[in-house]
Amino acid sequence: MPTTILLQLVTTGVSLIGIALSFWFGRLSATADMKKRLKEQRYFKFYMPFFTYLIRHNYGSSNYYQIISSSGKSSELLTMLFDNIGYLDKKTCSKLSHFYQLHLKALSFGSGDFRYEADVLELNDLFDELVNLSTIESSKLAESLKLDQTPLELFSTNSTTKSHCK
């Protein structure tokens, strides 16, 4: 009799271990899928529209202030940044508050109030930094998602000719 009890215990134990491993591997797979979906959302909902905007507005030969001044839609890019703040990395997010304050001062500069000229120059530099951080982060995302980096390469080619028209 002890052999049958031992056999039943071993069978039950192996079944429980199998169920536990199956559950653990399922959770691991679900977590990996969720992380991949979040990376895809970040890439396609913020980074690609952001770089498309920059290419469309000729960022490579215009600075931020020139773009917002010539487009007449200074809030379009701000809306894109702040509506998608959850998709940005920590380093980029940490600079957005200061960027917003400088942006508001730049609007005053546009109305002829020249005491904000230094802020406009700082705004252009800070925007360049935000673009560089976004380029690095989007490259990492594209690589981890095994995506073609052609759009980023096009942007990089365009932005390397950047003449800081300050």
The per-residue pLDDT for range 40-73, each reduced to its tens digit, is 999 999 999 999 899 888 888 889 988 888 766 6
* Share of residues in the chain with pLDDT > 90 (%): 37
For the chain, what is the mean pLDDT?
83
Q: Is residue 128 part of a domain?
A: yes
- From CA 43, how far away is CA 55, in angstroms rounded? 16
pLDDT band with cut points at 50, 70 and 90 for residue 166 = very low
pLDDT recorded at residue 74? 66
Q: Is residue 12 part of a domain?
A: no
CB neighbour burial string for 37-67, b if at least 16 within 10 angstroms, e if fewer: eebeebbeebbbebbeebbebebbebbbbbb
Q: Is residue 3 part of a domain?
A: no
Q: Is residue 16 part of a domain?
A: no
Enclosing domain of residue 135: 37-159
Q: Is residue 106 part of a domain?
A: yes
Each residue of 8-49: pLDDT tens digit?
888 888 888 888 888 888 887 888 889 999 999 999 999 999
Q: Is residue 141 part of a domain?
A: yes
Q: Is residue 22 part of a domain?
A: no
Each residue of 121-132: pLDDT tens digit?
899 999 999 999
Nearest-CA neighbor of 69 among 150, 166, 156, 138? 166
Least confident of 73-87, 89-103, 151-165: 151-165
Q: Is residue 28 part of a domain?
A: no
Q: Which residue has the higher pLDDT, 6 or 114?
A: 6
Total domain count, the chain? 1
